[in-house]
Amino acid sequence: MITTTTPGAPCWVDIGSRDIEATSDFYHQVLGWEYVSAGPDAGGYGMYQLGGESVGGVGPLTEEGASSAWMTYFTTDDAAAVTETCRQAGGEVRVEPMDMMGTAVMAQLTDPTGGQFAVWQETGSREGEGGLRTDAPGSLCWVELYTADAPAARTFYQQAFDWQVTDMPIPGEAPGLYHVITAAGGNPEKDGHGGIMGMPAENLKDGHAYWSPVFETTDCDAAAERVAAAGGTVQMGPVDMQDVGRVATCLDRFGASFSLLTSAG
């Protein structure tokens, strides 16, 4: 996956939960993560770490009626501009751009097809803080948007982030297109960081679009067994995908969507 400091690329993932302890226990069992509190002034927010490196975060749900879900943050040079693009395109601004203790500006948005995401604009130095670990066992390696209107999502995100989009045919009885996304200036052959997948609304979790993270694992089958043992659900797989690897699509014990991948090679 392309570097997380490149504008338009993922730079962070976190999960909102109504039971942080139980959620943390689930991901500890599945991926070996350790929960580390961000401190008494963080409102219950904490980091997930593996081998001393951050692989994501967790915090309490704050929106009324919200269910547990993973949030993907994308790097931007101008959080205000992406926010205005979202507003003009018919999306929703859930949290206006806000200062994050002088080190960044963050906004939380919903795209015009219903997918929730966030943007992060670095504005200062955070000495002593590491970035997000990626492309290693137990860490983020891909992000996917599942939506009932893939063409509209593609258009919006290209406007918001200037993404390159490469269409790949999906084999099967009902063939379609999978849209591989790459940050501006990257090489789609090796720098892709995610994809957009169209599907019927009735097949979407809660009936609306959503971003789902994919975590690398050394043994997809064993990790999928741990998902079930920890109270989660394996929705699909594990299954081999040509030139991709072995993948399983899962829900954690509170219904948050994620996937597990043992990459080819």
| pLDDT given at position 128 | 43
| Chain position carrying tokens 């130095």 | 125
Tokens of 181: 């996304």
242 by Cβ neighbours in 10 Å (0-12 / 13-18 / 19+) ranks as: exposed
Residues 179, 196: contact at Cβ < 8 Å?
Answer: yes
Alpha-helical segments (H) within 105-238: 150-161, 220-229
Residues 27, 252: contact at Cβ < 8 Å?
Answer: yes
Length in residues, the chain: 265
Strand partners, 49: 34, 54
pTM of the model: 0.93
Phi, psi (degrees; rounded to nearest 5) at 84: -70, -40
* CA 206 – CA 158 distance, rounded (Å): 25
pLDDT at residue 3 tops 90? no
Quote helix, strand, coil % in the chain, to nearest 5. Answer: 20, 45, 40
DSSP string, 221-255: HHHHHHHHHTT-EEEEEEEEETTTEEEEEEE-TT-
What sign has the CA pseudo-torsion 258, 157, 9, 179?
positive
- The pLDDT mean for the chain works out to 90
Beta pairing class for 245-251 and 233-241? antiparallel
| Domains in the chain: ranges and CATH | 10-122 (3.10.180.10), 140-263 (3.10.180.10)
User: What SS3 class is residue 63?
Assistant: coil
**Which pLDDT tens digit goes with each residue over 153-200?**
999 999 999 999 999 887 665 567 899 999 988 888 888 899 999 998
**Which pLDDT tens digit goes with each residue over 206-264?**
788 999 999 999 999 999 999 999 999 999 999 998 888 999 999 999 999 999 999 99
**Which pLDDT tens digit goes with each residue over 71-114?**
999 999 999 999 999 999 999 999 999 998 888 899 999 999 99
